[in-house]
Chain A
Amino acid sequence: MNPSRVPKEESPFSTPDEPVEEAASRRDFLARAGHAAAGLCALFFAAGAVRFAVPDFEEGPPRKFPFGRLADFGMNTLSWLRDRDLFVLRTPAGLGAFSSRCTHLGCTLRRTAEGFVCPCHGARYGALGEIVSGPARRPLPWYSVWLERDGRLWVDLGKPLDTVGPIAIVLPDKVEG
């Protein structure tokens, strides 16, 4: 056969009686749709992976717990509940619990004659956790404290108070022990 008479190879995507531009735009559209579908799939997988890594439950002790009895805390003394990062202060006005962690970057505070100081970046607080100087911007939070019928004091770290300083502890009607 004469090689010149062999018909030119035709693209599988276009036929001669079809305008070329239309075929190109259809191909474009399909390509874009393919890319979009692939991108969407990737996006869904990425979103799923991120959601997968978001913690659904938390370890560690509960945020609401009993921390002792009134008798455990002497008048006008500051106690440190080491394991729960809490200071407990009892005065004639009442009893209160506030955080022993710096509000700047969370280091445990040291006591000084005037109040507290953070060993990490030198933030200083007064005796009631008010800011004196340094990088901390929030005073130490005080938490809701109450007395249960069995005589145990409870604190809820999920409930910071708006007030600063010990609060009067309301005795329940009947305290056992």
Chain B
Amino acid sequence: MNVFWSTLLTHLTTLPIHLKRGLHPGVDPETETLALRMRRNFLFHLHPVRVAEHTLKPTATFGLGLMTLTLFLVLALSGVMLMVYYVPTNREAYTSTQDLQYAVTFGSFVRALHRWAAHAMVLTAFLHLLRVAFCGAYFRRELNWTIGLNLILLTFGLAFTGYLLPWDQRSFWAVSVSTNLLDHIPWIGDSLKRFLLGGREVGQAALIRFYALHVAILPGVMLGLGIFHLWRIRKDGGLAREPKAPEDLSTLPAWPHLVFREAILIVVLVTLLCLLATFVPAPLGGAPDIHNPSNLEKTPWYFLWLQEMVSYSAPVGGFIFPGVLLMSLLLLPFLERENQGVGRWFGVPGKRIAVGVSMAISLFFFALFEWIFMKQGVASWLASRPPLVRDLLNPATGMLILAVIHFVAAGILNRSTRTAFLAAGMVVLVAVIGFTLVAWCRGPMWVFFWPWEEWSLAS
């Protein structure tokens, strides 16, 4: 027999063994240790071999980063599925979404899953940012903090571009209103808006641009930065903690202690999403009427705080407040370099009182500002002032000034940059949540109604 045939025959007879070995490269059950396994396995190699015990406590991180990553993967999968039917033209965008919602098998489920995961991702990314900020976990992690800020901006960008795609009345007007904000940027606003929309108004050009951003550009950048973000966690030595002598740290093997917890979190999260998607479908309004908004156009909930501030003043609410906030967040790990209480909520116990005081004071002032500016007399008095006064006198400016006062006062009183940032951060957080709730209560003509009140325009 030709040696060719005999060789082929031998390999065929040993095929099961080679399949097992060849598809599991580097596995040797005889010698494999835990550490070897953690390094060999693709999914496990993201983890360290051992993790500090205290980082396993649920309250240390609430697993928010992992949740955000899981949601990103769910969104990628469900998003690609939606692309099979969705047509990004102004004639077919709405009808193809209708098809997905009402005709395609499992279409409504996939759409609802995508929507719920998107809303959840905005929430978990925001909470993740809060966790890292309030725990001081940016300590000596300047690069990863900066990457993280870019990631949350990308998350907002993805949520916003995705909001337009169903092309119903609500999505059309929410995006129209939000992009008109750009008109209020001096000098470059008009060109910036035309660059984003491909024209003066939201139309076909804007739809295809938002689509390209939503399905390719933003997720691509996010994938790259996200991988970088995960890699930096390992490079920075795992989750942030106070610099201690190594012997003080009790560690546990990542397998099974960390990996099991992660698996459980992922399973629970995905199950909840599936339940939500099954029982609460994504809304789809009527076809867009591009000449007539419904009598209440609200942005998606995560932009409500901006819309509320913008309803007082476009420059302050749309640019000054978010601009100052973003700049402060960018500078935070460079200006706040205290190594005490790293990885602990609100820092060192003795200084936490300042954060509580800031919260109480800012709640009071928020309520006061809103009460003053909702009085009819104040509105008409303001209307007769010069534009600069009208733009600057509003609750958003008030809360911003309050944050600066708290920053200085808490910093000086506690002799601590950490406390200064925590106090100011608390004021901003109260403002953001407060404005969101107030905007959420607004009814037709942007009139404030309590949740238990009926919307009537009699007043």
Contact = CB atoms under 8 A, between A and B. Distances in A.
Interface string B297-314: 100000000010011111
Contacts of A82: 291-292
A54 interface: yes
A41 interface: no
A58 B195 contact: no
Given A104-B314, A105-B310, A120-B177, A133 B204 contact: no
B390 A137 contact: yes
Contact of A107 (B198, B297, B447): B297
B293 A119 contact: yes
Contacts of A59: 199, 203-205
A108 B293 CA distance: 6
B296 interface: yes
Interface string B382-401: 11000100110000000000
Contacts, number: 90
| B contact face: mostly helix, strand, loop, or mixed | helix
Contacts of A104: 180, 314
Given A53-B195, A133-B383, A121 B446 contact: yes
Interface residues of A, number: 28
Contacts of A54: 194-195
Nearest to A54: B195
A60 B445 contact: no
B194 A55 contact: yes
Interface in A99-120: 104-108, 110, 117-120
A105 B382 CA distance: 20
B43 to A, nearest CB: 33
Contacts of A58: 199-200, 205
A105 B314 contact: yes
A3 to B, nearest CB: 36
B176 interface: yes
Contact of A133 (B209, B295, B379): B379
Interface string B305-331: 001001111100000000000000000
Interface string A54-86: 110011100000000000000000000011010
Given A59-B203, A60-B201, A133-B380, A120 B293 contact: yes
B151 to A, nearest CB: 21
| Most chain A Cβ neighbours within 10 Å, of B200, B311, B391 | B311
A119 B311 contact: no
A119 B294 contact: yes
Contacts of B203: 59-60
Contacts of B444: 119
A135 interface: yes
A152 to B, nearest CB: 22
Contacts of B311: 121-122, 134-135
B116 interface: no
| Most chain A Cβ neighbours within 10 Å, of B178, B204, B209, B379 | B379
B173 A132 contact: no
A105 B180 contact: yes
Given A54-B195, A107-B177, A117-B445, A137 B293 contact: no
Interface in B229-285: none
Interface in A113-148: 117-122, 131-135, 137
18 contacts: A53-B195, A53-B209, A58-B200, A58-B205, A85-B291, A105-B176, A105-B310, A106-B180, A107-B173, A119-B297, A119-B446, A120-B297, A131-B383, A133-B379, A133-B380, A135-B310, A135-B311, A137-B314
Interface of A: 50, 53-55, 58-60, 82-83, 85, 104-108, 110, 117-122, 131-135, 137
